[in-house]
Chain A
Amino acid sequence: MKCKKCGGKASVNMRQHRMALCKEHFIEWIPEQTERFIKKYNMFTREEKVLVAVSGGKDSLALWDILTRLGYKADGLYLGLGIDGGVNYSDESHRLTAEFAEKNGLTLHTVNIEKEYGYSIPVLSDISYRGHGKPCSVCGLAKRHEMNRIARDLGYDVLATGHNLDDEAAVLFGNTLQWSSDYLLRQRPVLPEKDGLARKVKPLCRFYEREMTAYSIARGIEYIYDECPFADGATQVFYKETLNQLENTRPGIKLTFYLRFLDARQSGNLFIEKDAVQAHIHPCAKCGQPTSAPDLCSFCRMIEKANTTTG
């Protein structure tokens, strides 16, 4: 297989684009395309301060690498979740993130959930009874809360996450299976800043997970290869595997699934949005972050419940 750009030996074949590239052209093509997506979806400008949520995984480290190569002002945020799983998962992912930052001379903010609130994510999950025995929903809630808080506290214009197309397609697949119209209408590459919520962007949303893996390997980025110990059997992983089986026989089907959804959503033809008054958003009585709940936001209620339970 030959590189489409130089005719040399190809390293990565992207069947959905009917294009193979050599290593050198592939690691140039990824930032070029990222720049195109940033502009297409009006994600942010070179003057704005970007906070990249980095987990130590391939996607977020690749995103930080790409934004830095493109010359954006991008700092990192690592959230210590206190997940061990017999493989020192959080410690190892923090080590890899910190090493990446140091090697590239980048600024990394680290927040440890346990030090901040008194409980690691698995403990908080046990105490709060959220998520039916799996800490994933508590983890997601805590990450959203903390990422927003820190982005605003530290004065960043935008919060960037490393969600790739497979992540987006899996969420879309799940929400379509259940016709969760509220969630479907919320899914997009950019969530604008409003009512105390920082702008959130997903610059990698059009790259396959396979491409981000190839990019990380080609760039020599050392990332945490072990899955989160709690990911085993996760619904999102099952959806990704299912979509990959479809992709295997119909190259490009994941990309089409996601892009046609964005088109339909943009055109307003997907669902008729309700004229009903939006839920009232107001500051949480404790942390001040926006919430539609009557008094405290979901996160603060969870922490209060945990504090009450543990006395």
Chain B
Amino acid sequence: MPVKLILRTNEYEVKAGMALLDALKKCNIIPESVIATREGELITEDEILKDGEVIKLVAVISGG
């Protein structure tokens, strides 16, 4: 099963077994612009993504 990445209202699917950093690059997401969480816990970009899991990406930029 693919891994689902969710960023605000956008959803992306990547293959399990990839490192988070590679997954972000594949989805054209700048790693510096998000914080990733797995079941509410912070994870680093070297984390290997597991089959079928959902990774929530929290956008870090605020402003106006």
Contact B64 A136 (CB under 8 A): yes
Chain B min CB distance to A168 (Å): 12
By beta carbon, the residue of chain B nearest A239 is B63
Q: Which residue of B30, B32, B35, B64 contacts A217 across the interface (Cβ within 8 Å)?
A: B35
Contact A231 B63 (CB under 8 A): yes
Contact A245 B30 (CB under 8 A): yes
Q: Which residue of A12, A136, A237, A245 contacts B61 across the interface (Cβ within 8 Å)?
A: A237
- A contact patch SS: helix
Chain A min CB distance to B47 (Å): 8
Contact A240 B42 (CB under 8 A): no
Contacts of B46 in A (CB 8 A): 1, 13
Contact A213 B35 (CB under 8 A): yes
Query: How many A-B contacts if CB must be within 8 Å?
Result: 77
Contact B64 A23 (CB under 8 A): no
By beta carbon, the residue of chain B nearest A134 is B64
- Chain A: number of interface residues, binned into ranges: 35 or more
Contact B31 A11 (CB under 8 A): no
Q: Which residue of B31, B44, B63, B64 contacts A12 across the interface (Cβ within 8 Å)?
A: B44
Q: Which residue of B33, B41, B62, B64 contacts A11 across the interface (Cβ within 8 Å)?
A: B41
Q: Which residue of B30, B31, B40, B62 contacts A59 across the interface (Cβ within 8 Å)?
A: B62
Contacts of B59 in A (CB 8 A): 225
Contact A213 B64 (CB under 8 A): no
Contact B64 A210 (CB under 8 A): no
Interface string of A238-251 (1 = CB under 8 A from B): 00110011011000
Contact B58 A217 (CB under 8 A): yes
Complex Cα distance A237/B61, Å? 7
Using CB atoms and an 8 Å cutoff, list the residues of chain B in contact with chain A.
30-35, 37, 40-46, 58-64
Interchain Cβ contacts under 8 Å between A and B, 16 examples? A12-B42, A209-B61, A210-B34, A214-B42, A217-B35, A227-B62, A227-B64, A231-B62, A234-B64, A236-B63, A236-B64, A237-B63, A241-B33, A244-B61, A248-B30, A248-B32
